[in-house]
Amino acid sequence: MSRCLVPGSFDPVTNGHMDIIRRAAALFDEVTVGVLHNPEKAGYFPVPKRVEMLEKACAGLKNVRIIAYGGLLARLTRETGIRVVVRGVRGVQDLESETAMARINGTLDPGLETVFLPAFPGFEQVSASMVRQILLFGGDPAAFVPPEVLEDIMAGFAK
């Protein structure tokens, strides 16, 4: 059975993330979406809320499960035995930082491969930080986030 990990902060989940998760779900038998977080950093949305929103957005994808993990990605892959990490790349800037991360992770967990999926047209500009900025300035992020979680995102921001 082929398995992969799609890691990220998902703070919050965006349409760009969903593009990558859907494509990973078509390529692998089982996809684990990992909300990787630094326990020392608060982030914007609480981790359980990020997991809940991903669960809603991925409800139609039967081979996708969501987990939260507060530690090194390479430790998670060692613990789970997952041998492939899938990351989306939006452009050359992403490619540079993602290549560095892939090399570090492959050194910490030898044999671990990182597969890059290029963002499809329309998703190159979408990022969670951009969504947070739209919210901060009172804008409407509806075009950039899954419709299933828009209400949660707006309610989370109101708090």
Interface ranges with ligand PNS (CB under 6 A): 7-9, 36, 72-74, 101, 104
Cβ-closest position to ligand PNS: 8
Q: Would strands 64-69 and 3-8 be described as parallel, antiparallel, or unpaired?
A: unpaired
In the complex with ligand PNS, the residue whose CB is nearer, 27 or 101, is 101
In the complex with ligand PNS, the residue whose CB is nearer, 9 or 32, is 9
**Are the C-beta atoms of residues 43 and 10 closer than 8 Å to each other?**
no
Q: What residue ranges in 3-150 does DSSP mark as E strands?
A: 3-8, 30-36, 64-69, 84-89, 113-118
Minimum distance, C-beta of residue 114 to ligand PNS, in the bound complex (Å):
10
In the complex with ligand PNS, the residue whose CB is nearer, 109 or 152, is 109
Minimum distance, C-beta of residue 61 to ligand PNS, in the bound complex (Å):
19
In the complex with ligand PNS, the residue whose CB is nearer, 104 or 115, is 104
Minimum distance, C-beta of residue 116 to ligand PNS, in the bound complex (Å):
13
**Are the C-beta atoms of residues 22 and 58 closer than 8 Å to each other?**
no
**DSSP assignment, residue 80?**
H
How far, in Å, CA of 104 to CA of 136, rounded?
A: 34
